[in-house]
Homo-oligomer: A and B are copies of this chain.
């Protein structure tokens, strides 16, 4: 049955198929965790947002778009890529609407507060990781995440947890390196060809500034070189996991959170159950020639990597078709939300494409 769904099985396929079979028709709850890291202010690192000024507004704008159908804190409806295409929140909005999936937004530490009813976990935005003191309150954010995960889990059959953190693939890289993974050149990017050299230089400087020699203590790694979203999602997952499975909706950033979760479990003498946690992303991340998320997954453990088969090759609107050039790949849990819509309501890739086009037309006429 799952074979007909628009879902690609990219790593740990058998386990991924079993999970998809188990979750089909079940009630997901989508949670988007938004945060800021000052790391994004390093020139050349991120293209999430039309300009560097607007980039700071991206997490808040994404949150507002989920609640109100368009952002309130920026013009133009939703955050856009500097080269034109609208951001991935369009996909998330379409998927959640199409399958009537309930959602929450968690503010793990924004610079611009969303004008929306978000769950506040944060202690302020994350610092630039090159200071080596990116998230001093990582443990407190983690603990609040645990409490939130416990509270959310009874509301659904499984959780789908996405993120919006401009600059977050660089903090993902730094976290993976701090935890001892071979991640250089493997993380994805908000640009077609990721600026790997710059990211690696920034991450190495961060580890040195934090005095981290891998493998680091997990929450200490986040405190030094991570971002607030990582601590929040890790807590949320561990709080929910004894009650329901969790799908981490994202690419490199969620691979890094998965590595963090594995580290936290190991620290407690436990193992993270690979039948209960998976990563789900977009086709653009899964097939990205400039990154290797499956290679990251393979290092972390035998956890499934799923991807939505959603394609914009046949999209009616030219800006959407540019996704196929890897200009925009993932964010706001777009891939995981698309997978959840397929599982919940049997939406085909074409259903999803049409729904995205409708959102596009609502916003841009």
Which of A140, A148, A151 has the most CB atoms of chain B within a 10 A radius of its CB?
A151
- Complex formed: what's the CA distance from A121 to B102 in Å? 19
Residue A278 is within 8 A (CB to CB) of chain B in the complex: no
Quick check: B155 and A117 within 8 Å, CB to CB? no
- Rounded to whole Å, the gap between the CB of A61 and the closest CB of chain B is 15
Cβ < 8 Å to B, chain A residues 101-133: 102-104, 106-107, 113, 115-121
- List residues of chain B with CB within 8 A of the CB of A115: 140, 144
The verdict on A144 contacting B119 (CB below 8 Å), with A155-B29, A155-B102 known, is no
Interface size class of A (residues with CB under 8 A): 20 to 34
- List residues of chain B with CB within 8 A of the CB of A145: 117
Residue A9 is within 8 A (CB to CB) of chain B in the complex: no
- Complex formed: what's the CA distance from A144 to B113 in Å? 13
- List residues of chain B with CB within 8 A of the CB of A181: none
Quick check: A117 and B102 within 8 Å, CB to CB? no
- Complex formed: what's the CA distance from A144 to B120 in Å? 14
Quick check: A148 and B102 within 8 Å, CB to CB? no
* Closest residue on chain B to residue A153 by CB atoms: B102
* Closest residue on chain B to residue A108 by CB atoms: B117
* Closest residue on chain B to residue A149 by CB atoms: B117
- List residues of chain B with CB within 8 A of the CB of A107: 120
The verdict on A148 contacting B117 (CB below 8 Å), with A29-B155, A154-B100 known, is yes
- Rounded to whole Å, the gap between the CB of A156 and the closest CB of chain B is 8
Quick check: A104 and B154 within 8 Å, CB to CB? no
Quick check: A117 and B67 within 8 Å, CB to CB? no
* Closest residue on chain B to residue A148 by CB atoms: B117
Quick check: A102 and B144 within 8 Å, CB to CB? no
- Complex formed: what's the CA distance from A155 to B159 in Å? 13
Residue A147 is within 8 A (CB to CB) of chain B in the complex: yes
- List residues of chain B with CB within 8 A of the CB of A156: 155
* Closest residue on chain B to residue A103 by CB atoms: B151
- Rounded to whole Å, the gap between the CB of A208 and the closest CB of chain B is 33
- Complex formed: what's the CA distance from A148 to B118 in Å? 8
Quick check: A67 and B151 within 8 Å, CB to CB? yes
- Complex formed: what's the CA distance from A130 to B117 in Å? 29
The verdict on A147 contacting B106 (CB below 8 Å), with A29-B155, A100-B154 known, is no
Quick check: A147 and B29 within 8 Å, CB to CB? no
A151 CB contact (under 8 Å) in B102, B144, B147: B102
- List residues of chain B with CB within 8 A of the CB of A120: 107, 113, 117-120
* Closest residue on chain B to residue A118 by CB atoms: B120
Chain A 92-106 interface mask (CB, 8 Å, partner B; 1/0): 000000001011101
Cβ < 8 Å to B, chain A residues 19-64: 29
A117 CB contact (under 8 Å) in B68, B106, B113, B154: B106
Chain A 61-74 interface mask (CB, 8 Å, partner B; 1/0): 00000011000000
| A-B contact sample (9 more), CB < 8 A, given A102-B154, A116-B147, A117-B145 | A68-B147, A100-B154, A103-B151, A113-B120, A115-B144, A117-B120, A117-B121, A118-B120, A155-B156
Q: Which 3 A-B pairs have the closest CB atoms?
A: A117-B148, A120-B120, A102-B154
